[in-house]
Structure 1
Amino acid sequence: MLDAPAHHESGVRRSAKVRRSALLWPAVVLFVGLLTVGVVVGLLRQAVQEAEQARFEALVRGVEARISRQVDAHLSLIYSVAGFVATMPQPVTRASYASFIRQLDVADRFQGVQGIGFARRLEGPTLDEAERTYRAIHGPEFKVWPRVGQPEAFPIVLLEPMDHRNQVALGYDMYTEPTRREAMARARNSLVPALSGIVELVQEIDADKQPGFLIYLPVYAEGASLDDLEARREALMGFAYAPFRARNFFEAAVRDLAPRVSIRVYDGTVAPERLLFSSARSGNPEDADAAFTAVRPLEVAGRTWIVEHRTAPGYSSQSSGGFLLVPVAGLGVMLVLALSFLTYQQALARTAAERQARAMRQADREKTLLLQEMKHRIKNAIARVQAVARQTVREAEDLQDFTARFEARLASMSATHDLLTRTRWEGAELEDLLRSELSAVQHEGSSSLHGPSVFLTGREVMALALTVHELATNCVKYGSLSHPGGRLDVRWSVEPHGSQDCIAIEWRETGRSPILPGERIGFGSRLIEATIVRELNGSFHRDFCHGGVICRIRFPREAEAPAKAL
């Protein structure tokens, strides 16, 4: 008999294996393809980042070049002033100096500078006389300040343009302030321009104060010897200088680069107190999101500025390289998915052909097995029919009696076959078997069935069906159901017996006069003995009692009885 559940389970396993096989190569193609796309996109991303880094480095160099050009331009202006002062009769008048500065077009050509001036060297004892001299030039309000008893002073005596800020700086002795004094001494000793540290210019007269710095260039008497430090001090006339408000200076230098880069300029070291200029306002989030940063030293007139460069929000918007990553990645993924799909379709076609070949081989095996099963069952059925026919002939009184008995037994066998066909010959419930055999002989209320669910194998069903048929036939003809008021009760149970369970059936007939032993011994008894004792290796006992009979059937349950089919 075909094992349908096992066959179905085997088919499920084969289908799962086919699906796994069909998915294996597409999965490999998908994995390798996506990995390749990832590598390509990663390399492209790295190339874009390197290009952006190079572009940022070029931008940094551009910022440094602009600052350097801005400084150089103002140095040339300071050199011009130094040459003018050195060649003019002393003291230089305000009018001649203002005319000279206008010719240089300082306001338009030299942006970011607060002014351009000259600080005259004066001996301490001559300060009062010098004040009187310069009051004649600048007015009665001119004075040298502050007065701290200094042996020499360097007050500002010339400064243009003479706006309201520069007006307050006239007469200021810059040598009294340590930061300015250090730069002035360095310029005097080195003969070259010197940049000061961070100062607050005396021109900062309102709330909008900015850090400041100055550049000094020493001016010596024409033709004087400058071979040693003492000679330079003696020949020093003063300093041409330029004061700068830091924000004005740096914004003029890098104004058009501000959307792409922000800078911070520190004097000497990177520290909050050394911050000279920041293009980013306080709390601006652009600092935290900078794509690139660079910190570079910049040498300016003997002093070092530390310039910190960061990309500004406008930097990314001017870069198109990064936008290539999305379409390249998308196109790569689409190509990989298409290739994986084609591989999947090819794998499905191959596995479908293999599955069809296996199905044909399996169908051939199943056909052979089915033919063998049919042959076996037909032989068994014919043998059983022959046995029933022989026994019926022996006990039949005439042809009509033979026909009736034989047809009844064949009908019982047919009903049993129908019952087994419902489960593909796997077996049947014991209760269903009993109800099938008793349905034609009982009347309402005349019988009862009690017992647990017991599933019988096909062999057990065929053997037990003939036994129940004979018992039911005898019960109707001679037993309790042959008289009104008679009753049939059938009970069964499963009892343990060593390592194997046994099925116990009790057939109890009540409601008629006693039956003596041997009264009903015939074909039925011989058939029961043949099926229960010989075929099922069981036992059959009949007990006669007052008002009825009790039949007890007991046989071992098959060890591998299949579960009830759904």
Structure 2
Amino acid sequence: MGLLATAGAMMGFWLVMERRDHERFLQEVGQAETTISNRMETYVAVLRATSALFASSEAVTRAEFAAFVVRLNLRGRYAGIRSIGFSARVASDQVGRLEAEMRGDGVEGFHIWPQDRRDEFNSVIYLEPLDDQNRVAIGFDMSVDPVRRNAMERARDTGEPAASGKVRLVREADGRDQAGFLIYMPVYQGSAIPTTVEERRDLLSGHAYAAFQADELFERILWGARPNLALEVHDGEPGKGALMHRSSDWSVGGTPRYGTERPLAVAGRVWTVSYAASAGLEAASGRGLVWIVGIGGLLATSLLSAAAVGQSRARADAERASRAERLRARELETINGVGIEVSAQLDLDRLVQSITDAATQVSGAQIGAFLYNVLDERGESYTLHALSGEKAGAFANLSMPRNTAVFGPTFRGEGAVRSDDITRDARYGHNAPHHGVPRGHPAVRSYLGVPVVSRSGETLGGLLLGHGEAGVFTAAAERLVVGLAAQAAVAVDNARLFGAALREAEQRKLLLDELNHRVKNTLAAVQSIARETSRSSPTPATFLASFEGRLLALSNTHDLITRGNWKNAPLMELARAELAPHGHDRALIAGPDVWLPPQDAVALGMAFHELATNAAKHGALSVPGGRVRIGWRVVSVDGGSHLRVEWEEFGGPPVAPPERHGFGTRLLRGVLASQLDGVVSLDFAPEGVRCVVEFPLRDGKAV
């Protein structure tokens, strides 16, 4: 029955751990899937912005395109994009003119290749960063490759981004076979996207595109985000499509413990991502606890079996020793009860008390105690955890035993100490101030001390037993107490593991609740931005440019908040991030170190973005000599700390109050003041716009 109970407990625990590990695997798959999808959407947004650059200008020079890509800061903000370029649509009779223009623009030896005869060409004319590898692709007609041509034609006909299948990038000139793909965004003549397929084909002027090397892309996207996952990415269905990426920890020959496949739509093309559990998941699995349950059950079963054998022998000797028979029966009953409770009970106090009572009873002691091993700075502090044979307050005014010669072997886990008369032991009575049993302590002559040692080797404490008469404790009693001490160790270990599992479950729920709250807040902010931007945007193109800029400002602020574990964000980095696109020499930023809570950081980041955008269009940043000054300080208001932020523009054109109030004005005077619970002053003085924001410091801090 003991073996069956142990097997059942192990099986149940195994199923629980298996289900928990599988759920954790699916959670990590979902997180990885969301991370990849979100990052690819970000890359598509960058490509839309690149297309808008060409659509909004009659002619974009090579220098302007290079400056645009530098401002994007691909390596810093959009790690994973290897390069961004533009391919021009050229009729066959215009090839010579384009080649002459490009050579005149400083591209020595420019020519369109391959030079086979065809009605039109789609030649790469701009490509950044223009390093030695990328320079090889200048002039390449990508439409000669069927895979690239298919994606370019889909982008042309739909007016939407289109991803290509697996390709070998032209700029990979070192001969290595590395998988890659491209995403194309069409650029049409005029500022609007044509409404029909025929018009789109007639008005196409070229494609803005981004090139990706698959291995580098997914390593950057999932850097540190999938410690327990391995994955493969296929263009199409696995086995039929092309393998674009395989993580380094993917096992080719073996069968993973868990695996799943998920489709992923990227720019009009469907990938299949195969996920598998890696060695990290196995290492973090709790299945090792199954063996703890099994060992504990086997130990309890072994003790019960030993007791059963002893009982059988006692019954055989019943006629010769009826008294010993009855005593042995009581001992077995006590041990049996303790074994059952150890297997089914996880309440540490009840378990330890039961074992202490059992040890006191089976040994014949008058007093028994379990002392829990809690070390202080001197390494010798012990806490009374359970007491048997005396009232609970019997030791309230007595100091705990110290690491003396008598107690030392027990508390160090060296082994049991049994003495028929401890008062005559050579180790007794050498420590001040009591030199033996303290005053008020029950008289003790027979003494038995047994250490309680965890399977890890840690000494958890000791079972201490005493009797006022000499010669009470036998070798048999010592053995029984040693067995109970082993059960006590198992009980403490199991209770610790159970407590750790409960804390882990509570922490996981707390993290999920926090994530849900933050996602709702972010979606509410995006919804508000979209609604307010649409009110002040006369055309879809204007709405797109304003909306993308505001989302980028929100993204920059969220990056800072994320680096602060969603606790706070530094105001200095927030201001620098929003003014960075206009040049560090155009903004004078000064103020003490201040960290803002997430809600205040998002609101103030959006305000900086709107002020900077207005200054670049109409104010100080619209002329070469204009400057912006941002300063802040912590002031005391009614006994509380307030943050006063000042924005000043100077050196720009004369300023006049606007005739109508757009999104920025409503944000500053309405939304910002409401979210920050503060006051916003906006002054359109002739010498430059001045904005003052003052609000109480809540969860933020200043140095």
Instruction: Please state how far the C-alpha of 1:280 moved relative to its aligned partner.
Output: 2.5
Please list, as runs of the form range in 1=range in 2, the aligned pairs for 1:217-296 lying within 5 A after superposition: 217-223=185-191, 226-257=194-225, 259-271=227-239, 274-280=242-248, 288=254, 290-296=256-262
Q: 2:54 matched to 1:88? A: no
Instruction: Please state how far the C-alpha of 1:201 moved relative to its aligned partner.
Output: 0.8
2-side partners of 1:120 and 1:356: how far apart?
A: 108
- Counterpart position of 1:164: 132
1-side partners of 2:85 and 2:202: how far apart?
A: 21
Q: 2:291 matched to 1:326? A: yes
AA in 1 matched with 2:187: V
Please list, as runs of the form range in 1=range in 2, the aligned pairs for 1:344-355 lying within 5 A after superposition: 344-353=309-318
TM-score (norm 2): 0.44
Does structure 2 retain, via aligned residues, the 8 Å contact 1:94–1:138?
no
Please list, as runs of the form range in 1=range in 2, the aligned pairs for 1:398-409 lying within 5 A after superposition: none
Please list, as runs of the form range in 1=range in 2, the aligned pairs for 1:71-110 lying within 5 A after superposition: 71-90=40-59, 92-110=60-78
4+ runs deviating over 6 angstroms: 354-357
Does structure 2 retain, via aligned residues, the 8 Å contact 1:225–1:231?
no
Unaligned stretches of 5+ in structure 1?
Answer: 1-31, 358-566
Q: 2:110 matched to 1:154? A: no
| Structure with bigger RCO (C-alpha 8 Å, 6+ apart) | 1
AA in 1 matched with 2:314: A
- Counterpart position of 1:212: 180
Q: 2:269 matched to 1:303? A: yes
Instruction: Please state how far the C-alpha of 1:289 moved relative to its aligned partner.
Output: 6.1
Does structure 1 retain, via aligned residues, the 8 Å contact 2:32–2:226?
no
Does structure 1 retain, via aligned residues, the 8 Å contact 2:236–2:271?
yes
AA in 2 matched with 1:327: I
2-side partners of 1:277 and 1:138: how far apart?
A: 38
SS of the aligned residue for 2:105 comes to: helix
AA in 2 matched with 1:337: S
* Alpha-carbon distance change, 354 to 151 in structure 1, aligned in 2, over 3 angstroms: farther
**Residues 79-114 of structure 1, C-alpha deviations (whole Å, 9 max, x = no match):** 111011111222x21111111111111221111222
* Alpha-carbon distance change, 279 to 99 in structure 1, aligned in 2, over 3 angstroms: same
SS of the aligned residue for 1:130 comes to: helix
Instruction: Please state how far the C-alpha of 1:73 moved relative to its aligned partner.
Output: 1.9
2-side partners of 1:112 and 1:80: how far apart?
A: 17
1-side partners of 2:289 and 2:280: how far apart?
A: 19
- Counterpart position of 2:541: none
Across the aligned residues of Structure 1 and Structure 2, the Cα RMSD in angstroms comes to 2.3
Instruction: Please state how far the C-alpha of 1:245 moved relative to its aligned partner.
Output: 1.1
**Residues 389-424 of structure 1, C-alpha deviations (whole Å, 9 max, x = no match):** xxxxxxxxxxxxxxxxxxxxxxxxxxxxxxxxxxxx
Q: 2:12 matched to 1:47? A: no
Does structure 2 retain, via aligned residues, the 8 Å contact 1:286–1:312?
no
What is the aligned counterpart of 1:62 among 31, 45, 56?
31
Does structure 2 retain, via aligned residues, the 8 Å contact 1:261–1:315?
yes
SS of the aligned residue for 2:118 comes to: coil
**Residues 441-499 of structure 1, C-alpha deviations (whole Å, 9 max, x = no match):** xxxxxxxxxxxxxxxxxxxxxxxxxxxxxxxxxxxxxxxxxxxxxxxxxxxxxxxxxxx
* Alpha-carbon distance change, 143 to 120 in structure 1, aligned in 2, over 3 angstroms: same
Does structure 2 retain, via aligned residues, the 8 Å contact 1:119–1:155?
yes
* Alpha-carbon distance change, 260 to 251 in structure 1, aligned in 2, over 3 angstroms: same
Instruction: Please state how far the C-alpha of 1:223 moved relative to its aligned partner.
Output: 4.3
Does structure 1 retain, via aligned residues, the 8 Å contact 2:56–2:191?
no
1-side partners of 2:300 and 2:192: how far apart?
A: 83
Does structure 2 retain, via aligned residues, the 8 Å contact 1:225–1:235?
no
AA in 2 matched with 1:217: M
2-side partners of 1:49 and 1:287: how far apart?
A: 23
Instruction: Please state how far the C-alpha of 1:249 moved relative to its aligned partner.
Output: 0.8
Instruction: Please state how far the C-alpha of 1:52 moved relative to its aligned partner.
Output: 0.6
AA in 2 matched with 1:310: A
Q: Which has the higher helix share?
A: 1
What is the aligned counterpart of 1:187 among 149, 152, 155?
155
AA in 2 matched with 1:100: F
2-side partners of 1:70 and 1:150: how far apart?
A: 38
**Residues 277-317 of structure 1, C-alpha deviations (whole Å, 9 max, x = no match):** 11127xx7586263322222211111111111122223322
- Counterpart position of 1:546: none
Unaligned stretches of 5+ in structure 2?
Answer: 323-703
**Which protein shows a greater Rg?**
1
SS of the aligned residue for 2:29 comes to: helix
2-side partners of 1:286 and 1:327: how far apart?
A: 33
TM-score (norm 1): 0.54
* Alpha-carbon distance change, 177 to 240 in structure 1, aligned in 2, over 3 angstroms: same
SS of the aligned residue for 1:119 comes to: strand
AA in 2 matched with 1:53: H
- Counterpart position of 1:314: 280
1-side partners of 2:106 and 2:211: how far apart?
A: 20
1-side partners of 2:86 and 2:141: how far apart?
A: 11
Larger mean CA deviation between 292-301 and 270-279 belongs to: 270-279
Report how many residues are paired.
322
Percent identity over paired residues: 33
